[in-house]
A and B are shown apart, each in its own frame.
Chain A
Amino acid sequence: MSESPQQPMNRRRFLTVVGASGAGAAVLSGCSTEKVQKLVPYLVQSEDQIPGLATYYASTCTECAASCGVHVRTREGRAIKLEGNPDNPISRGRLCARGQAGLQGLYNPDRVRTPMRKEGGAWKAITWDEAIKLLAERFGAAGAGLRIVAGQARGTLTGLMNRVAQAQGGALVRWEAFDRDAERAANQRTFGRGDLATYEFGEARYILSVGADFLETWGSPLEQARGFAQSHGFRDGAMARHVYVGPRMNLTAMNADEWLAPRPGTEVAFVLGVAHAVVARRGGDPRLQAAVATFTPGAVAQATGLAAADIERVAGEFAAAAPSLAVAGGIGAQYPNAVELCAAVNLLNLAAGNIGTTVRFGADPDAREGYAAIRRLQEEMAGGAVTAVLFHEANPVYALPASARFGEALAKVPFKVSTALVLDETAAQCDLLIPNHHALERWDDAAPRAGTFALMQPVMQPVFTTMHTGDVLLKVAQAIGGASAAAASAPSFEALVRATWQQLAAAQKAGDFEAFWRAALQRGGHYAAAPVQPVSLASAQVDATPAALGDGEFVFTAYPTSMLHDGRGTNRPWLVENADPVTKVTWHHWVEVSPATAKRLDVREGEIVRLASAAGTLEGPVYVFPGIRDDVVAVPLGWGHTEYGRYAAGRGANALDLLAAPAGPALPYVTTVGVTKVRNAFRALAKTEGNPRQLGRHIAEAMPLEHAAAGYTIKQSWEKLGNPEHEVNTEAELQAIEGFEEAFAAARELGNYAGEQPMWGLAVDLAKCTGCSACVTACYAENNIPVVGEEEVLRGREMTWIRIERYWEGGTDGQPVEGRVVPMMCQHCDAAPCEPVCPVYAAYHTPDGLNGQVYNRCVGTRYCANNCPYKVRYFNWKAYNWQAFPEPLDLQLNPDVTVRARGVMEKCTFCVQRIREAQHRAKLEGRPLRDGEFTVACAQACPSDALVFGDMHDPESRVRSLKQSPRGYHVLELLNVRPAVTYLAKVNHRPAPAAAAGHGAEESH
């Protein structure tokens, strides 16, 4: 009930804050704005809603095709936060950054608010009746020329669209930008079945990824991150080994124990080389043996440019590990020979005996073509065969390279319709907009894999005058009549969903449908085990000829980022300001070049280079990146929208501009380019990193696996590696420390601080943390953190209460590059340096161990931020809260958290509102708080379970046992500020670089 005081809004159904002056209401104290506030009651109270209490609805995330389960937290009829659904086998209670930002799709200020028709080049709002009449008219007349283009998601709506299209003789085209076409084609060839496998990362002891960014966009990233944490996170003295093979270091590669960068396009030979070693050890099908016979380490070394010793070692390790897992098919390494690469990986998995253990077939319900289908549609459109087309959750005009000229073919279709929520590039070319409900406003379902049936339900009233596309199609079909009406007859789409689930209930032999339905609503779906089907080798054919990339000087790769995906995330400010986990750049695209290449081209960070390929040109600011081959340049995808709302349009350039779109089963995202420096052109990159090197500060610690397994502490490990004790206290210092201890203990017994208190603390396991930044978005959502925009980020004013710091190790003197990540938030120091310097006691220590920040006391001296060694305090230099939540984004604000005004310091509170809420609940129920009963937003979101929150005074708590781990350390421990956050050192397979403390000052930019 306490929304942002600055933003009066029509609450439609409940307590409204109306700005007006003067009259009657008690004008007594002078603390905040004195306005007449109105209490607006419900007409009819919903039994689900109790003011002041959150109501959760189970639903399904639609931000990518993985279909994770979500719990939608609603307050007073508004969705305010998305959280993972613990019942869902895909998400298991966690949610990634893109999933969290789904809320900004719901409340996006640029949503299409009504149906619209293009008249004379301008959009004109029309009524739904008019829209449906027009649709019926044109679709009815379209006949076999009707096409419906839909994304990857499959469910009742896909079936309905298929029936509606086919009733007319038309067709449904299913296509999505990052569809895994190459894998399907390869599976078809190797195993004779064109469906996708699922991968058990949690069981693998050795993971070899050839270009598959399984922690970012490939496959089901959240589920894979969980599996990866399970196998690769240090546990019981062991951990899996992960090797990444690809031209640049993405987040997945940064989390690998080894990153190998063969000559781009020769990965097939490398994979067959590994398979060669496996076959040598384990034998196998004669066809398989014949396929890999010539790929000896020496031959592979010659083909790939890697050292023969490295190839032999990796191949030997892979062959010795059981079970192992090899994956391929990521967009950033999708060469023209992508199918060959995926086929080679299939052979490798087959040779290693992984099929049926870590690689399982049978869960993907349908085999289909994506890229080939959209190209065929384009030909049909260009040939005039298509008379009406409907785009649903698909934006091919943006997501296909400009050189494909999809837009030109589309212009030839006489009637084009889009259901887009926001006017995207494809919708902008359409004649009619019929905006769909957002996933949180509608009934829908999805079947991401066999055995998993996910359900969506409306959790609130629609924000705008939109209509469910399913309902639109049903109405249109009825209006057309005839075969269409027969193919699509249901009173509503909700009824159609129920009918689907009735069939499902019968198939699952559930007795009572109502009970089945209610259980599905409460659990977010129905979950059964996916069948595992045996597969056998159909063909061992694979062509290891290096990919033909072109004759440009540099290899160019366009790669997806974990924030923007294929560009659909670019209109969510949370994702645009949440820095790319690897480069830490926000708000703009960049061109990655290696330090050596930068030197050769004479460019520094921010200087503009022009990339020119056979298909087009692109300019962008240079980002000097140690994680890329010298002969490769890379640009992230997702930028360069021409439409798609205020946050996306006109921002950056589209890396697809450089790509050609040849015929074939899959679109290659790699080509070659020439690079030239643009003179006197510069654009500063809004990065959220400080120094990219640790400079011996011991922030992101790591220890070798042998040391961790032996139970060494960080200090012991450090000494074992040949580093001397670097600090010895004098007698006087030891006395001073003792005196401090006594004074500190005495202070604990004063006033409010005396007696038994909880002591909240956080443990961060760096062996599990991948740097994915889901926690960052979760924190933005929970704590009403404003995005500040590119200019302010450039001034270092981003407000990320929790940020992921990324440090480079090695990369010089021939040492391998290692990226380390540390989630950094307020450490809630017991002896906090920020507290004594506050002149107004706004920063102070609470009895339960929090470092409190009282906004209403803060006068903005910023002394605390200056004195904070961790730099985790953020100052509202401007009234960010006014500009960051344009209507209706303000509906998302968490009413339990104060919206901070200009001139106020803020920082991580350990989600004190959640602590208080849990305490209230426990007190009312007359019981103590239980460990794990609630957690902070970052820990709740973490796909890897790297963050654990709890009461350190509770002897049974998980956080306490983690804090006692020998791997535990505090960042900047020498300051003796006694942080409540304990980090558990990362565990490395390779020996920790002993010289890391000594060098590192030099960085190439």
Chain B
Amino acid sequence: MRRVALGGTLAIVAGVAVLVAAGSRTEAAAPQQATAPATPVAVPWPDEGTLKGPKQPIYFRHDVHATQYQIQCQYCHYSVAVASEPGIPSMQTCMGCHLVIGGSDTTSKVEIKKLRDAWNAKQPVEWVRVHYLARHAHFPHQRHVAKLGPNACATCHGEVQRMPQVFQANNIRNMGWCISCHLEHGVSRDCTVCHY
């Protein structure tokens, strides 16, 4: 059914509200995490230019956020279960926590300051894109998340929760990667399922 939106309403969510939401999300997700092995606390890992993957404008550590603090992927990548695009967090989502969390060590303090400065200057952080497909291929994230369940993300993106800096773990831009999985799951291999 078509959704007809109301105009002129922007969600101005206060930082505190986001924090509350973050807490409740983590709790709600806890049962799923219970069966997973105990996750280690992410070790300090200075960015010395030797990490795999492109260098980002801010040394954002997925391992700290996803493993140490156990924030669910979908907390930030909010539209992955409902839309073809996974979504990236708005600056406001980042600041929801980092308004109060200023960092525990020198490295993190420096990086979080970059975020706060950008927020104050109303300049979005331009992340370097790591995963992308050719323009003639359409990948509906929502269908894959629905089918593959909690481990859906890692199937293609690798163990991002252990990556200090994100890199492309699998050759997802090769169609063979898609086809092998579609074969395995016995789902359509028709061209126009993805190419249109």
Contact = CB atoms under 8 A, between A and B. Distances in A.
B171 A45 contact: no
B168 interface: yes
B146 A924 contact: yes
Contacts of B122: 43
Interface stretch (B67-75, B99-107, B134-142): B134-142
A906 to B, nearest CB: 11
A842 to B, nearest CB: 9
Interface in A42-100: 42-48, 50-53, 55-58, 71
Nearest to B91: A43
Given A39-B127, A856-B195, A50 B79 contact: yes
Interface stretch (B22-30, B39-47, B148-156, B185-193): B185-193
Contacts of B191: 844, 846, 852, 854, 857
B166 to A, nearest CB: 10
Q: Name the residue among B2, B79, B189 with the largest chain A CB count within 10 angstroms.
A: B2
B126 interface: yes
A21 interface: no
Interface in A824-873: 844, 846-848, 850, 852, 854-857
Contacts of A51: 79, 83, 85-87
Interface in A908-961: 909, 912-913, 916, 920, 923-924
A752 interface: yes
Interface size on A, as a range, is: 35 or more
A48 B3 CA distance: 10
Contact of A2 (B12, B135, B193): B135
B174 interface: yes
A539 interface: no
A18 B124 CA distance: 14
Contact of A56 (B2, B127, B132, B136): B2
Given A5-B135, A40-B126, A53-B83, A45 B11 contact: yes
Contacts of A897: 196
Contact of A752 (B53, B86, B167, B189): B189
A854 B195 contact: yes
B127 A46 contact: no
Contacts of B132: 25, 37
A46 B8 CA distance: 9
A887 interface: no
Interface string A514-537: 000010011100000000000000
Interface stretch (A28-36, A153-161, A192-200, A761-769): A28-36
A26 B137 CA distance: 17
B9 interface: yes
B126 A39 contact: yes
Contacts of A44: 10-12, 90-92
A57 B7 contact: yes
Given A51-B83, A52-B85, A522-B4, A898 B130 contact: no
B109 interface: no
A55 B7 CA distance: 11
B124 A41 contact: yes
A457 interface: yes
Contact of B5 (A4, A36, A56, A850): A56
B137 to A, nearest CB: 8
A913 B196 contact: yes
Contact of A923 (B79, B84, B146): B146
A898 B192 CA distance: 12
B127 A48 contact: no
A121 B146 CA distance: 64
A45 B90 contact: yes
Given A32-B135, A46-B11, A847-B188, A1 B126 contact: no
Nearest to A59: B7
Contacts, number: 188
B89 A28 contact: no
Given A856-B136, A898-B196, A43 B92 contact: yes
Contacts of A16: 126
Contacts of B126: 16, 18, 38-40
Nearest to A32: B134
Contact of A45 (B82, B93, B129, B190): B93
A899 interface: yes
A998 interface: no
Given A28-B168, A56-B2, A916 B138 contact: yes
Contacts of A25: 54, 128-130, 132
Contacts of B85: 1, 51-52
A459 interface: yes
A150 B9 CA distance: 31
Contacts of B196: 896-898, 909, 912-913, 916
Contacts of B134: 31-32, 856
A724 interface: no
Contacts of A43: 90-92, 119, 122, 124
Contacts of A856: 134, 136-137, 195
A459 B91 contact: no
A445 to B, nearest CB: 13
Nearest to B140: A920
A23 interface: yes
A15 B143 CA distance: 22
A597 B89 CA distance: 70
A26 B173 contact: yes
Q: Name the residue among B91, B134, B137, B146 with the largest chain A CB count within 10 angstroms.
A: B134
Contacts of A42: 90-92, 124
Contact of A71 (B4, B140, B167, B192): B4
19 contacts: A13-B124, A29-B173, A38-B126, A39-B128, A40-B124, A40-B126, A41-B124, A42-B91, A43-B90, A46-B10, A48-B9, A53-B79, A56-B2, A56-B4, A457-B7, A518-B6, A844-B191, A916-B196, A923-B143
Given A48-B5, A522-B6, 11 more contacts: A2-B135, A25-B128, A40-B127, A41-B124, A44-B11, A46-B11, A457-B7, A458-B7, A523-B4, A896-B138, A916-B196
Report, nearest first, the 3 A-B pairs whose CB atoms are least far apart.
A24-B54, A52-B85, A52-B83
